[in-house]
Amino acid sequence: MGTAIKLLIIDDNEEILTSLNRFLSRKGYDVELAANGLVALKKLEAVNYNFDLVITDLVMPNISGVAITTIIKKHNSQMPIIAITGYGEQPGSLAKEAHADFVMNKPFKLDEIEATIQRLLK
């Protein structure tokens, strides 16, 4: 594949970060983790908003995933974003408003998320 596909995963849930990191790293992705929106924004700024794809939780303290999605799309409208949520319908519509490319409900299957990554990067 040449250069590994760079992913940024943002979630305030340590377990989700760990399992996504383990799974996607094994699949050969170059994974960066952020446990909150502030860390995520620093990482995004550091690479000039140049990740291949971002996976973000929607509901987080301080900076929400919706805010992150909006900021990313302002800087790089081409960057695909998968929003994950455990909170029913409301955040889903929020994510669409913020222009996430795909919304996934928790709990999700790891291979579902990988299939979605593949589809969005085609």
pLDDT for 63 beyond 60: yes
Confidence bin at 1 (pLDDT 50/70/90):
very low
Lowest mean pLDDT among 18-27, 32-41, 92-101: 92-101
| pTM, full prediction | 0.92
The dotted CATH code for 6-120 is: 3.40.50.2300
Q: Which amino acid is at 114?
A: E
Each residue's pLDDT tens digit, 13-28 = 999 999 999 999 999 9
3-state secondary structure at position 49? coil
The pLDDT, as a whole number, for residue 43 is 98
